[in-house]
Amino acid sequence: MSCANNPAIANFVEYLQIPSVQPNINYDACVAFLKKQAASLNLAVTVHEIVPKKPIVVLTWTGTDPTLPSILLNSHMDVVPVFEKSWTHPPFSAHIDKDGKIFARGSQDMKCVGIQYLEAIRKLRAANVQLKRTLHVTFVPDEEIGGHDGMMKFVHTAEFKALKVGFALDEGIASPEEEFILFYGERSIWQIHVHCTGKTGHGSLIHLNTAGEKLRYIIDKFMDLREQQKRILESDPKLTTGDVTTINMTQIYGGVQSNVVPEKLSVVFDMRLAITVNHEEFENMIKQWCREAGDGVTYDFEQKNDKVDSTKLDAGNPYWIAFKAAADELKIKLDCRIFPAATDSRYVRQVGIPALGFSPMNFTPVLLHDHNEYLKADVFLKGIDIYVKLLTAVANL
């Protein structure tokens, strides 16, 4: 059977061809597709709209002992924008080339995982397997813009609590090497705007107490810390980006005219705080920098994540023990890390549920959010078999 005629590949291609691209997504086509999948699998399906036009689709396979905490299998329906001229094939064509590469936005991030969950369930049901724990397969909106109208709100609803989730799986990332990357925690996103005010006047004079002088001081402090973290990362080959605090200056704005000293200048930093950082101490350091820069320097946060405990990878977490045992049986190597960016797992962990980020894609270049995003058909199909084993292990705990 050619990969184009494989039913699992056909479902993947159909899902990829739905252009659920940010911003202003109409999710109707995704919901219709998932309802069709639920019917083909004889699974219950529920659609929740906590925010209008932001559906959360839940497919449920009830276990033999539904009193046990359930397993949540999460993925997001939305994908990031594309620059179509930079693509070899149209980004929503799901074109399959002679090497079996499936080109589409969302092929890695993360429509692959959503379909792999469903196809793993299809294989288990076809083999008349019954699992102890209930599986809830969730397809959520807006993860690519922070999940504020999706998983962030959903975890606090009565509908979510009724799922009785004990453990969750969510997205990971491709690995160019043999090992599969697994994420057990995430850094905290802090996006800060620092505002510097000062004396205005003609651009030909040397004024005292200007916004520009204060802005320079603030930028130096943040960028010096960035350099320090960069050196720490470079000093130890065992460290990954998720192990340090990253700081990037992303915007500078203010001023009215080239020959007028502005009364206000602002700078924006995107920071991802390492899990070892004490949040209160870190913010106190920023307050001190603002005082040192001079009067009239203030800040506000565009986003400020609370500290969320990572999922334990030890004997105290039976789900991890089951997951790891299944991975060992499959002879797949796991590279366990802190996720460098952010996923919906942070909201799940925030309500006390252990969660792991895992996308079974090895020997695959990391192309999420990139031009010509693709996933090879054989890697996709192998991932289904990996999930068959992993889901069986954690659901039969």
Active site residues: 78, 143
Is 57:31 a contact under the CB 8 Å cutoff?
yes
Is 183:345 a contact under the CB 8 Å cutoff?
yes
At 227 the three-state DSSP class reads helix
What span, in angstroms and rounded, lies between the C-alpha atoms of 287 and 289?
A: 5
Is 311:351 a contact under the CB 8 Å cutoff?
no
At 189 the three-state DSSP class reads strand
- Phi then psi for 244, rounded to 5 degrees? -125, 170
| E-strand stretches of the chain | 44-51, 54-61, 70-76, 95-96, 101-103, 135-140, 165-170, 180-186, 188-197, 201-202, 246-254, 260-261, 264-273, 297-304, 334-339, 355-358, 374-376
What span, in angstroms and rounded, lies between the C-alpha atoms of 18 and 26?
A: 10
Sign of torsion, CA 200 201 206 208? negative
**Tokens in use for 325?**
């045992």
Residue 201 identity (one-letter amino acid): G
Using only the alpha carbons of the chain, give its radius of gyration: 24
Contacts of 170 (CB under 8 A, 6+ apart): 74, 75, 343, 344, 345, 348, 355, 356, 357, 358
**Tokens in use for 288?**
């001190």
